[in-house]
Chains A and B, each alone.
Chain A
Amino acid sequence: MGTLLTLLLLFGELSLLAFGGGNTILPEMQRRVVEVHGWMSAGEFAALFALAQAAPGPNMMVCTLIGWRVAGLGGALMATAGIFLPGAVLTGIATGLWERFRAAPWRRALQRGLVPVTVGLVAASALLIAASVDSAPGLAAVTLAVAAVATLTRLHPLWLLGTGALLGLAGIGG
């Protein structure tokens, strides 16, 4: 199977699994891209994730970047279409049906049941990304400090990313 088609199908599948937003599929994305397809190392994956975080826009831009890294501009387009289109089509259809099921008990039960799963998935993403990024004690300290500041204050994330980059430049990672 061609790489472009593989990218389209992989991200299309991930798109439909992304309950609770893009961060829930990061572990599976890493597993496929790094372990199953061997397109890049875990460190490279984390670097692309960081690059995507530094760019504006929705948090799934990392998919565009992975597609671009794996297969150039065509790869970027395929990955982008794959990650956005299936969910978009579902949403378009569901917008029309939503009102009808507003009070349905199954909808509320499902919504409730999805919450803990979403929390677990995002926590798994955080651990996996942190583990592949923090290759030195100084970098781990940056991750912990940013986590603390972002949890306790409403400081704009861009300040934290900028500070992290400067600390890295100053040699905190050794």
Chain B
Amino acid sequence: MHDDAGRAGATATVAAAPGIAGLFGAFFLLGLMGFGGVLPLARDMIVERRRWMTNTEFTELLGLCQFLPGGNVINLSVALGTRFAGLPGAAAALLGLITAPCIIVVLLGGIYDRYGGDPHVRHLFAGLAAAAAGLLVALALRLAAPLRTDLRSAGLAVLCFLAIALLRLPLLPTLLVLVPLSVLVLRREA
């Protein structure tokens, strides 16, 4: 862990590896503060504030997390916890991340259940839901933007979109066909 040669670069020092409590506390704060996306906050905390790893190390670890199924930040908490403190570290980071959001989301659900019949509340949530859908559209646009210059990738994305959104095909069989097809089609230009 003290191979400074491998960490030469912008950030001069990397802080000591966090323990179980440190991991839980840091990810608990992330879960509490992460409105509308935890990832930017996670990088800020891990690289800039607590200096648990360099920017390059963070990007590599994130690459692994994006490659695996599941939420990126969820995977990141597990990968970071495993790396610093093994299985207990992974459990501490994951539980830290999801404890506060779980409680908050159920409380919100309770409020909605109790007052959901009220027309004002109903209107409020209709507007909230419309805005949330807009954020999702924006996310899709941002992800799709790099494919504009890549006709084959764009075609594959459209194919996947049609299969799921319009034909409403089940996800697993769709993935089992589309992922190998996509890998095969894109392999040659790599």
A residues near B, CB below 8 A?
A: 13, 15-23, 25, 27-28, 31, 46-61, 64-65, 68-69, 73, 76, 80, 84, 86-88, 90-92, 94-96, 98, 107-130, 133-136, 139-140, 142-148, 150-151, 156-158, 160-161, 163-173
B residues near A, CB below 8 A?
A: 31-38, 63-75, 78-79, 82-83, 87, 90, 94, 97-98, 100-102, 104-106, 108-109, 112, 120, 123-144, 147, 153-161, 163-165, 168, 170-172, 175, 178-180, 182-187, 190
Chain B residues positioned under 8 Å from A86 (CB to CB)? 69-70
Tell me, in angstroms, the Cα distance from A144 to B24 when the chains sit together.
Answer: 38
Residue of A at shortest CB range from B187? A109
Contact of B147 among A92, A116, A139 (CB under 8 A): A116
A159 to chain B, nearest CB (A): 9
Contact indicator A171/B123 (Cβ below 8 Å): yes
Residue of A at shortest CB range from B155? A116
9 residue pairs, one from A and one from B, having the closest CB atoms: A168-B127, A164-B131, A87-B70, A57-B101, A120-B160, A146-B134, A157-B36, A113-B183, A150-B138
B76 to chain A, nearest CB (A): 8
Residue of B at shortest CB range from A157? B36
Chain B residues positioned under 8 Å from A64 (CB to CB)? 101-102, 105-106
Chain A residues positioned under 8 Å from B138 (CB to CB)? 146-148, 150-151
Contact indicator A56/B32 (Cβ below 8 Å): yes
Contact indicator A90/B69 (Cβ below 8 Å): yes
Contact indicator A116/B73 (Cβ below 8 Å): no
Chain B residues positioned under 8 Å from A120 (CB to CB)? 156-161, 163-164, 178
Interface of B is mostly: helix
B99 to chain A, nearest CB (A): 9
Contact indicator B133/A109 (Cβ below 8 Å): no
Contact indicator A156/B36 (Cβ below 8 Å): yes
Residue of A at shortest CB range from B90? A92
Chain A residues positioned under 8 Å from B131 (CB to CB)? 50, 142-143, 146, 160-161, 163-165
Chain B residues positioned under 8 Å from A76 (CB to CB)? 102, 106
Contact indicator A94/B68 (Cβ below 8 Å): yes
A169 to chain B, nearest CB (A): 5
Contact indicator A126/B123 (Cβ below 8 Å): no
Question: Which of A22, A28, A133, A148 has its CB near the most chain B CB atoms (within 10 A)?
Answer: A133
Residue of A at shortest CB range from B116? A47
Chain A residues positioned under 8 Å from B140 (CB to CB)? 119, 122-123, 125-126
Tell me, in angstroms, the Cα distance from A60 to B127 when the chains sit together.
Answer: 21
Given the contacts A21-B72, A23-B136, A135 and B154 also touching, CB distance less than 8 Å: no
Tell me, in angstroms, the Cα distance from A123 to B139 when the chains sit together.
Answer: 8
Residue of B at shortest CB range from A128? B165
Contact indicator B123/A51 (Cβ below 8 Å): no
| Listed A/B pairs (19) with beta-carbon separation below 8 Å | A49-B132, A57-B34, A57-B100, A57-B102, A59-B37, A86-B70, A90-B68, A91-B82, A112-B186, A117-B156, A124-B164, A129-B133, A130-B134, A133-B130, A139-B126, A143-B133, A146-B138, A150-B139, A156-B35
Given the contacts A17-B175, A18-B70, A117-B175, A108 and B102 also touching, CB distance less than 8 Å: no
Given the contacts A76-B102, A126-B140, A146 and B128 also touching, CB distance less than 8 Å: no
